[in-house]
Amino acid sequence: MSGTHIALAGLGKRFGNTTAVDALTTDLLPGAFAALLGPSGCGKSTTLAMIAGLIDPDAGDIRFDGLSILTVAAERRPVGLVFQKPLLFPHLNVADNVAFGLRMRRLDRAATRRRVDTMLERVQLADLAHRRVGELSGGQEQRVALARALVLEPQVLLLDEPFSQLDATLRAEMRTLLRQLHDESDVTTVFVTHDQAEAVEIADTITLLIDGRLAGQGEPQLFYTRPPSLAAARFFGATNEITGCVAAGEFTSDDRTIHQPTPLPDGRAVLIIRPEALRLQATSGPGTLGGTTVAARFAGTHLVLDVALDTGRILRVHQPIDQPVRLGSPTHLRIAATEGSIFAEPGDE
């Protein structure tokens, strides 16, 4: 099985005056493990519900392998769904919960039994097949929910914050299990989360939504090394911002020491740079910012320094542990010419 290609084309949804999803166009490749990431209220759940057929879009289209599914009723869409709360049938045991969908499809008893047994093995619940679901832990309940969705062999698996109610250790365990289940079946998987660390850890590709709009899409690493937008860089956090202006194809920082070429049009702009791309040096030179190290903290693999620039702005720097730190002494921050990403300031695009 190679999974289904999902295309969202100009997808939109309003609730009264609120635009939950705004002209969202994106492709999720067959067999992808995609995280739909963004802050609370950015439209992730609404997007997922539209793919599942639980909410009708106001605009745009959703295509599976090139065919629109908008006229296909939710129960006929080839999707499996897992929510934050598992919504299991409390009066049925684990195996019967997992078998439910197959029975609705009138699969014969022996085949149902075989598929349920195999699925329970895959989610490591074979020992608990006859336990009532009311007697399960949170992690076990989510395993049942995963098994119930996957036993129907959906083309697409949709998960809305499925592990957010579990503790950190269990969450990590469930992520590993889910990743394994995905890799065995190649089902195209869309995983909603507001937690960028979770998205980076589990997904092959991240689709970032901010205010209902696409704020970037790509491999997790891209969001760190080359953030696709200023909003994306800010959402991922731990970045430094150096403000300045673009004129005639060159960005110049407000203190006039940093110059970098850019294709942006003239106007106010921000150079985004990650703490590990900044280096301290004793002397000033081209491309350096003058400042003072005002704080240093040991962070296991590196030191985290706060450097106050002469302009008053504080930049965060990661430095190897073996290099000396002189708190309160003047220093200079070097930025390599190829480092950082420049964006127009919002309202100045």
Residues near ligand ATP (CB under 6 A): 15, 18, 20, 38, 40-46, 194
* Calpha distance 270→279 (Å, rounded): 19
Nearer to ligand ATP, 41 or 287 (CB): 41
From residue 329, give the alpha-carbon distance in Å to each of 189, 258, 286, 324, 326: 52, 22, 20, 12, 6
Cα distance from N-terminal residue to C-terminal residue, the chain: 44
Query: Least distance (Å) from ligand ATP to the CB of residue 309?
Result: 36
Task: Write the DSSP assignment of 222-249 as a string of letters.
Answer: HHHHS-SSHHHHHHH---EEEEEEEETT
Query: Least distance (Å) from ligand ATP to the CB of residue 11?
Result: 12
Nearer to ligand ATP, 83 or 224 (CB): 83
Q: Are 102 and 152 in contact, with CB atoms under 8 Å apart?
A: yes
Nearer to ligand ATP, 2 or 40 (CB): 40
Q: HSE, CB side, 13 Å, CA atoms: give it for residue 290.
A: 9
Tokens of 60: 């745009």
Query: Least distance (Å) from ligand ATP to the CB of residue 79?
Result: 17
Query: Least distance (Å) from ligand ATP to the CB of residue 39?
Result: 7
Residue type, 137: S
In this structure, what is the dihedral angle of CA atoms 218, 222, 224, 225, given to the nearest 10 degrees?
-160
Q: In this structure, is the dihedral angle defined by the CA atoms of residues 193, 342, 277 and 226, taken in order, positive or negative?
A: positive
Nearer to ligand ATP, 234 or 316 (CB): 234
Query: Least distance (Å) from ligand ATP to the CB of residue 38?
Result: 6
Nearer to ligand ATP, 209 or 309 (CB): 209
Tokens of 174: 């469930």
Query: Least distance (Å) from ligand ATP to the CB of residue 10?
Result: 17
Which of 228, 225, 178, 226 minimizes the C-alpha distance to 198?
Answer: 178
Nearer to ligand ATP, 186 or 195 (CB): 195
Query: Least distance (Å) from ligand ATP to the CB of residue 46?
Result: 3
Nearer to ligand ATP, 203 or 269 (CB): 203
